Structure 1
């Protein structure tokens, strides 16, 4: 009986050990061409998993998906695990937000990809009313659309990310607002668009965090725990601030964007949830 009991206990311990260290799969969207932002987010997921102590397999979905609305649907269904999205009430009600701003609020500092014809006119802009005369373009389903429209701007939505560049290059839209961390790598990866450039004169600012959002399916509850635990530990030991500040994307952003020389227009963001509005100041970057 003693040997049998020891054998049973050993089996239970082995089962528990295997279960506790079994790798968790985290499936993310295929990164967009030339997007250093996407690379940062994927590296961040691996960093947070390591901080949590849990082994994970971080891998891309089996094909690219352009439309944010489609990606949200795939995450809701559990076919993808996680995406990095601008936060608003709608997406927070559909998916599970990991409520730590992954860029510390830089997502709400918007500069413009534009074309050479429009750029020649932007230097004369002195008021928000003058800026409102220019047409803007965004991806279908992006949280920014509601913010920009509420701010008084004319915004066109298109489902294909790549088509946005084509439309602005052809002069069929004036401005493609991008977070300061986005446009330089995006244009560097698209040398075929000879008419595009990043404006260096203006900036639109609103409170707008990017969160990691996780599938609400029960199977992905461990991923929520892993990412939250990773952030908590990384803030406690200061390693997230180091990860952020030493990120090549963030370093290059402050070198290229020349934030202090820009004319700034502030607008409110009416689409933030109360929980997001109440995120403590220590999680936001103070420029």
Structure 2
């Protein structure tokens, strides 16, 4: 006797439910509990897991407690979470396993300044050396703080605060001249803090090698290889580019990166000992895939 479509559908749903119940949990850390945070990274992570079914069923779960980047690292080392994403540095690569595909195409190293709008004209006149004398603020545990200091910028660290409220308040109140933000996040930040007297500085762009990766615990090389293989597959098939382009902030970032009106200040990054030739994986797909394959074979 043939099975009815209804019964077949119910059996399929039951099978999927059992699979989801039995799926192993993969916990990712996050800086904020806000629903707008990390959507791109979670979308990429979901696509990577879906592209590697041979590794088994996994249910992606956010860690219940938002935390600073330094705390996320400790949480992975303790085994209380499985994966995080952050800008890399030598210390993080020594303590964790990096998956070396720059999730943001290297745009983490493209920095524009958020300033008090009353200071716009003064920034227009500044040379590279004068810009270094402006007072700036960064997150106290961000690798960018070390980068800016090493390049001679007058920058101080501020403790983590919800959506960087304290940093933007410092700009608003004139306690600092500028808050360098990466071009991916700055537009959303300005919208979120539109109640403050802040604006995007129009004339300068800081640029240095800076890459945002997925990281996993050194005790979990199998997960690192799953992420590498999944990234290879979604990169090769074009899905990664489609996910990236689906976010408006990413498209706006590209416009800032290519703006001819801005003076580009090239900085070194002493926190990482290399420079990738495939950070723009949309342009250098084959190089990026070969690099990930090489990591898997080592």
- Which TM-score tier does this pair reach, normalised by the shorter chain? 0.7 to 0.9
Which whole-Å CA distance do the structure 2 matches of 1:257 and 1:198 have between them? Answer: 14
Where does 1:121-160 land on structure 2 (aligned, <5 Å)?
121-125=122-126, 127-160=127-160
Of 202, 205, 214 in structure 1, the residue corresponding to residue 204 of structure 2 is 202
Where does 1:105-120 land on structure 2 (aligned, <5 Å)?
105-120=106-121
Q: Counterpart of 1:9?
A: none
Where does 1:1-287 land on structure 2 (aligned, <5 Å)?
23-30=23-30, 32=32, 38-53=38-53, 54-65=56-67, 67-125=68-126, 127-161=127-161, 162=164, 163-193=166-196, 195-216=197-218, 218=219, 220-255=220-255, 259-274=259-274, 277=275, 279-281=276-278, 283-284=280-281
Contact in 1 for aligned 2:112/2:182 (Cα 8 Å): yes
Gaps of at least 5 residues in structure 1 are 1-17
In structure 2, relative to structure 1, the CA distance for the partners of 1:84 and 1:191 (3 Å cut) is same
Contact in 2 for aligned 1:105/1:285 (Cα 8 Å): no
In structure 2, relative to structure 1, the CA distance for the partners of 1:280 and 1:22 (3 Å cut) is farther
In structure 2, relative to structure 1, the CA distance for the partners of 1:259 and 1:56 (3 Å cut) is farther
Which whole-Å CA distance do the structure 1 matches of 2:142 and 2:208 have between them? Answer: 15
Which whole-Å CA distance do the structure 2 matches of 1:150 and 1:257 have between them? Answer: 23
Contact in 2 for aligned 1:28/1:80 (Cα 8 Å): yes
TM-score (norm 2): 0.78
- CA deviation string 1:173-206 (max 9, x = no partner): 111111110111012122332x111112210011
1:250 Cα deviation from its structure 2 partner:
1.3
1:237 Cα deviation from its structure 2 partner:
2.3
Contact in 2 for aligned 1:187/1:196 (Cα 8 Å): yes
Gaps of at least 5 residues in structure 2 are 1-17, 284-298
Residue 44 of structure 1 aligns to a residue in which SS? helix
